[in-house]
Amino acid sequence: MPEGYKKEKFWEIYRNLPVELREALFADETGDYLRGICQRAGIAEELDKISDYVRQVFLGTLPPENFEITIKKDLNLELETAQKVFREIDRLIFDSVRPVLEKIYHPEPVEQKTQKPGKQEMTQEERPQQGRRDVYREFIE
């Protein structure tokens, strides 16, 4: 894929991102956290790739719940290392924008009628009318 296309697509997605994600994407603090996390995990050479995965989460192309398995598999990390890196990134970076990420990855469902399977809604004529005497019921004193 041509590099220009990737950049064009990135900026198109970026323009539509919520402000919180745009700010977090280029924040110095985000970069500092990532550098520290990679150094502590002994994978400083993977900083660029880890940063790219965080960018993908912010852009809506990599769900946060897939982050850990993705870095484990793609970077050939030990499970413990992948878990440690994910936990720190989740706590230090994703937590600050979690409500916005939730809206991207788990949008509120469109209001739907909740109905049990197999049951149909009653029509106006079928609904019991208040104040109306039921001729099929016997009056009990």
| In-domain check, residue 17 | yes
| In-domain check, residue 8 | yes
| In-domain check, residue 60 | yes
* Domain that residue 7 falls in: 3-105
Q: What is the pLDDT of residues 82-104, one digit of tens each?
A: 999 999 999 999 999 999 999 98
pTM of the shown model: 0.71
Start-end of H helices in 16-114: 19-25, 28-41, 47-59, 64-74, 79-89, 98-105
| In-domain check, residue 126 | no
| In-domain check, residue 51 | yes
Altogether, the residues listed in the chain come to a count of: 141
| In-domain check, residue 114 | no
Q: Is 33 or 10 the better-scoring residue by pLDDT?
A: 33
**Would you state the structure tokens that stand for residue 98, as one six-digit string?**
């979690």
Asked if 67 and 86 count as a contact pair (C-beta separation under 8 A), the reply is: yes
Q: What is the pLDDT of residues 18-46, one digit of tens each?
A: 999 999 999 999 999 999 999 999 999 99
Q: What is the mean pLDDT of residues 50-58?
A: 95
Q: Among the listed ranges 5-9, 21-25, 66-70, which one has the minimum average pLDDT value?
A: 5-9
| In-domain check, residue 113 | no
| In-domain check, residue 133 | no
The number of distinct structural domains making up the chain is 1
